[in-house]
A and B are shown apart, each in its own frame.
Chain A
Amino acid sequence: MKPGSEQFRSILILILVNVGIILVLSFLSPTFLTYENLLSVLKRMSELGMLAIAETIVFISGGFDLSIGTIMAISGLIAGQMYILGLPFFLCILLALLGGMAAGLMNALFIVKLRLQPFIVTLATMSILRSIVYGVLRGKTLSHFPESYLASGDLTILGLPFLFIVLVIFALLATLFLQRTYVGRQIYAVGGNERSAYLSGISVNRIKYTVYILSGFICACAGLLFSIRIRAVIPDAGLNSPLEVVTAVVIGGTAITGGKGTIAGSLLGVLALFLLTNGFSLLNLNPFWQLVVLGLLLIYVVGREGISKALVGKRLKKKTHQSAAIK
């Protein structure tokens, strides 16, 4: 990312937004700027941050994934259920990750083979997988996990929660993957202009498989983090995630039309979301203010170009009218 580029600017804006939120909140609430409070914010944002990483990659490739939250739920479910069946725990984790990747593969198969629209396909798989989660859990929660696994949620390294560090590691890896590897490059190319990419000899289909399977994998990891954080698997895990994540990712400067976006931007979007939630609860404000603020932010961030273009366009039109009238 180069200084002066559009992406650099949008990240700068987001940093300022976050700093602004932090400043305002630390004035308004004495407890906000405490280590414990910030620790809890960072810890809580870990799994949604993971989902945002997954969705960012999908968006950059020009796709859409509504099933992220559901894949998160199902991976936790697989791990928990397998452990109850008595499998060694590392195998449970492996199966959970494989399950997430399988779900991603299913999405990709429909999208590539039948050329269906990602939005609708993932709406359907979301519905199917969620139903499986509900059907298996039947309103119950699973909380039988090895204690060492759950304890990692309380771990801090260099003062930072372990879960957040996992997120940071994933974010760094994903950024490295997108910015430095040839596959990452090809993902941007496919999202930017699928046809040009195809004519440049890129296997567009292979890229799509990669993207959705990777998304499934990251969401599965998110599911494990979530089960660690809340020490259980719950049926409604990630129910609202698609909304929150899409909002955060789009606010973070990733184009819904593909070819553009950064992991850093998305995570800053997620951070803003959690700071707002935290702040509103500290201030005893209705937590739902967060929805309003996010919604406005979303429309503003995406719309500002359109708004200014619309204004400029109108002005230009007026000018030609005038010049025509003068003639």
Chain B
Amino acid sequence: MNMPLEQKIQEKRSPLRNFRELPIFLFIVGMLIVFSIVIPGFLSARNFVNISRQIAVVGILSMGMTLAILTAGIDLSVGSILSFAISIGGMGIPDGRTIWVVYPLVLGLGLILGLVNGFLITRVAVPAIIITLGTMNIYRGITMIVTQGRYITPIPSQFLYIGRGLTPFLFLLGTVILFIYITLFTRFGRNIYAIGGSEQSAVYSGVPVQKYKIAVYAISGVLSAFAGLIFVGRSGFIQPQAGIGYEMNAIAAVVIGGTSIAGGAGSILGSFLGSVLMGLILAGLTMLSVDPYWQGLVTGILIILAISMDSFRQLRSDRRTL
């Protein structure tokens, strides 16, 4: 309408305005300061190695989850893929298979399960939340049936290196950097934002939407399997119940990191910071000898805070009501 629009959209922006991760980053710094003051021995190398190992698994899962959520989808099957891949891919371990056989097998299984998700989501045209809820059940069921619920233990030491010391965290960092690169600097990555932001625009512009969606779930599958390898390295055995409930932790990390569940907005860095924050608070509370039982309380409150902040921002800019 040709009338002076009083609230003309501001075109100026401060450099910090686009840094969505700033609040959570500050929050982490704040927590670090508080814990360092309150908890003697918190600021020690050993402690940080400890915390970093705890963060790694969910952190890696949250990378794939971020991609799925950015496309306005979700992947509820990450925990199931994790246990499927390590339990079934690791069945050769007692027979003396080495990492050179087992690792590719595990990752390959993750890839296949992820591809199955992707195919179903794009071909059957059912919301990702339903499809992955289904496959989550199916993968978990198959895992329990094939393994008969048995643990694989002991595990040769070559499988444990990946879970020692700073290794898990380095792998997490590597994954984070790789996916920051992919989401910010590659065509695939940028197009993922377009798919989640406006699928129609993406189609009109010739973005191979179906192909990219399949790729997203395939990546999520591989990352789940990879997280599984680290999980095995850390725990020293393979249990078929591994990963139950991890999908919720991964979603929490992603949402706390500022990625919008509606798709199209968010970042890998945010999800990384989200998992760091969750890990940090858990560790801090443990060291404060608060029961680990209360961890969920903190996670829940963080989720509410994170999404409320986004919602407030939106409510303010959008006065139009229903």
Q: Residue B300 contacts which of A125, A135, A198, A310 (CB distance < 8 angstroms)? A: A125
Query: A130 on the interface (CB 8 Å rule)?
Result: yes
Tally of chain B residues near chain A (CB < 8 A): 47
- Contact between chains at B296 and A121 (CB < 8 Å): no
Query: A250 on the interface (CB 8 Å rule)?
Result: yes
- Contact between chains at A195 and B311 (CB < 8 Å): no
Chain B 281-311, CB-CB to A under 8 Å as 1, else 0, gives 0000000000101111111110110011001
Return B54 CB to nearest CB of chain A, in Å: 17
Return B125 CB to nearest CB of chain A, in Å: 4
Q: Which of B101-109, B128-136, B169-177 contacts A (4 or more CB under 8 A)?
A: B128-136
Secondary structure at chain B's binding surface: helix, strand, loop or mixed? helix
Q: Residue B296 contacts which of A120, A134, A289 (CB distance < 8 angstroms)? A: A134
Residues on B with C-beta less than 8 A from A290 are 141
Residues on A with C-beta less than 8 A from B300 are 123-129, 131
Chain B residue with the shortest CB-CB distance to A126: B300
Residues on B with C-beta less than 8 A from A292 are 137-138, 141-142, 145
Chain A 129-154, CB-CB to B under 8 Å as 1, else 0, gives 11110110010000000000000000
Kindly state the separation between the CA atoms of A307 and B127 in the bound complex, as whole angstroms: 13
Residues on B with C-beta less than 8 A from A117 are 261-262, 307
- Contact between chains at B137 and A130 (CB < 8 Å): no
Residues on A with C-beta less than 8 A from B138 are 291-292, 295-296
Chain A 94-127, CB-CB to B under 8 Å as 1, else 0, gives 0000000000000000100011110111011111
Query: B248 on the interface (CB 8 Å rule)?
Result: yes
Chain B residue with the shortest CB-CB distance to A303: B124
Query: A47 on the interface (CB 8 Å rule)?
Result: no
Q: A123-B303, A194-B322 are in contact. Are A299 and B134 (CB under 8 A)?
A: yes
Query: B252 on the interface (CB 8 Å rule)?
Result: yes
Chain A 286-302, CB-CB to B under 8 Å as 1, else 0, gives 10111111111011001
- Contact between chains at B251 and A123 (CB < 8 Å): yes
Chain B residue with the shortest CB-CB distance to A313: B125
Query: A243 on the interface (CB 8 Å rule)?
Result: yes
Residues on B with C-beta less than 8 A from A134 are 291, 293-294, 296
Residues on A with C-beta less than 8 A from B291 are 134-135, 138
- Contact between chains at A303 and B255 (CB < 8 Å): no
Residues on B with C-beta less than 8 A from A135 are 291, 293-294, 297
- Contact between chains at A291 and B130 (CB < 8 Å): no
- Contact between chains at A247 and B141 (CB < 8 Å): no
Kindly state the separation between the CA atoms of A250 and B298 in the bound complex, as whole angstroms: 31
Residues on A with C-beta less than 8 A from B322 are 194-195, 198, 204
Kindly state the separation between the CA atoms of A75 and B277 in the bound complex, as whole angstroms: 31
Q: Residue A243 contacts which of B133, B297, B301, B304 (CB distance < 8 angstroms)? A: B133
Query: A309 on the interface (CB 8 Å rule)?
Result: yes
Residues on B with C-beta less than 8 A from A289 are 141, 145
Chain A residue with the shortest CB-CB distance to B296: A131
- Contact between chains at A132 and B297 (CB < 8 Å): yes
- Contact between chains at B315 and A307 (CB < 8 Å): no
Chain B 133-151, CB-CB to A under 8 Å as 1, else 0, gives 1111110111111001000
Kindly state the separation between the CA atoms of A129 and B301 in the bound complex, as whole angstroms: 11
Query: B120 on the interface (CB 8 Å rule)?
Result: yes
Residues on B facing A (Cβ under 8 Å) = 120, 123-127, 129-131, 133-138, 140-145, 148, 248, 251-252, 255, 261-262, 291, 293-301, 303-304, 307-308, 311-312, 314-315, 322
Further pairs besides A129-B300, A291-B140: 8, Cβ < 8 Å: A115-B314, A116-B304, A117-B261, A117-B307, A123-B251, A128-B300, A131-B298, A299-B126
Please give me the 5 A-B residue pairs with the lowest Cβ-Cβ distance, nearest first.
A291-B141, A131-B296, A128-B300, A295-B137, A295-B138
8 A-B contacts, Cβ less than 8 Å apart? A115-B314, A126-B248, A130-B296, A131-B294, A288-B143, A291-B144, A296-B134, A299-B135
